[in-house]
Structure 1
Amino acid sequence: MPHAASPPSQHDLWNGPAGDAWVQAQSLLDGMFAGFEPVLADPIAAEPDARVLDVGCGTGALCLAIADRQGPQGRCSGVDISAPMIAVARERALAAGKAIDFTVGDAQQHPFAPASLDRIVSRFGVMFFDDPVRAFGNLRRALRRGGRLHAIAWRSPADNPFMTTAERAAASLLTLPARAEGGPGQFAFADAGVVRKILDDSGWDHIDIAPLDVECSIARDALPTYVSLLGPVGQALRAEGLDPDLRQGVLSTVVDAFAPFVRGDRVVFTAACWSIRAA
């Protein structure tokens, strides 16, 4: 079996293979996670002139949803470490006629203006900090008095079998990098107690962490694209030098492993998350 290389830094990952894959899968991912938009964006409709920052904004779907709800008075911005994804976000905002400020930057050290924001939101963007206490402290200083944070993060792998199906199915065919325990990554915020301590240590108050389950889906015929682009298996399948027959065999095996989630022409799963609020 091919051997996995040591994991790249978050900056290199999201400005390299992972960022490129998310750009290619933009429309698939926007549809998959559309159910989170009303959770994060609808409350902002009542604050049309609020200054809102989306942390880990990716290709801009949530910012666009917020801008739609705010209307012409809106002041929405997004920050992400991935230059490829920010480039797409800017193109999408321009095409939609939305004045959204997108910045390439690391939110754990970016020099945000103090007390300049009313709302900070994030959909799966806060689990990748090398130093989460530093990151949330930096974000807290950017929030005005009375401002609020609302972030969504994944619960545990056990709560999200869809998200680990590909890895489990490919385990006998590929050597994949182990998910780092306690380090930055998709499930870094699986433990609500750890998240609460991070927020406590970085100066946040009124912390509320509650389970949030959202039904998500993709088209059944999009499964090969999903598998070949995203996650550790997608990264392995895109590796240079991988035997084409092995690649096709892994892809076929992994796609078949998603059978329990197939409902007609859709693949349906529950995203088991934390809704994280603080002020």
Structure 2
Amino acid sequence: MAEIHKTYFRQGYRLLGDHFHSAVKVCQWTKESLRHNRVCYKELWYPPVQSHRCMMMTSYLGCNCHCLYCWRLHSHDKPGLNWKEFPLTVEEFDEPAQIVEQAIEKRRLLLTGWKGNPKADRKKFEEALKPTMMTMSLTGEPTLYPLASELIREAEKRGMITFLVTNGTVPEALERLSPLPFQLYVSVSAPNRKTYLSIVKPLVKDAWEKLNRTLELLPSLNTRKVLRLTMIKGWNMGNHEEYAELVKKAQPNYIEVKAYEWVGQSQNRLPKNAMPYMKDIEEFAEKLSHCSGYVVKAKFEPSGAVLLA
């Protein structure tokens, strides 16, 4: 695992705790906000988000899926770089309080260099050191961490709202969550089982069925809910009616239709032309709107994203 940890470090991650199953990293949009006053679409669409005060982290570096479009490094992606990432070989899990405290501190250290940057907004820099939001989406699958509820509670104790992004394959973990995150994202990568298996490459049985159980659970969860549809050109941009059926099942507050980005390790799995243009995303969103009854509310071209509500 030493080589894996070195790779994470080189990529800007900082591992947390005693057992190194969690990590933090400074989001690119935090840097954009500090340097150019440009913010991510979450700040524009989902109050009270502030890009410069968002702490992007994960409590579980492993994942139970090997999605083709994922930017992160999977076991066997590189010759000789193999490890058991699901389930992680962890002797025991670190306590939530330790993870949150170290995430705040290590993110602060990563941001320290911005203090002397003449292009950085001084007021925003000072605010950025005190995050008001913890996003569990950096890498891996956060619902595999068995103390997710306690992690959310520890973040709330420190004045942070929480966003949790899940692939939806652990519905029983979502059923147990208390408190719920401020906002819950569920990734929907395909309209049907066949396409799902070809894109998501799950490491668990019945992953498609488990995702559907999660979608059926969503209406009963009293929090803000978003379905994120990652669009890959030539792979999953048809079957609007089938997507609409999944939306009907989940009844989310919002739908994000977002273009796959040809970045990171996904460049070794997919061709560059699998990345849709903004017009492709807009056309898909309009068709989904017609089928689902949701209405296009906003667009954000830098991230290739369209919001429906």
For the aligned pair, the TM-score class normalised by the smaller chain equals 0.3 to 0.5
Q: Which has the higher contact order (CA 8 A, sep 6+)?
A: 1
TM-score of the superposition, structure 1-length normalised?
0.36
TM-score of the superposition, structure 2-length normalised?
0.33
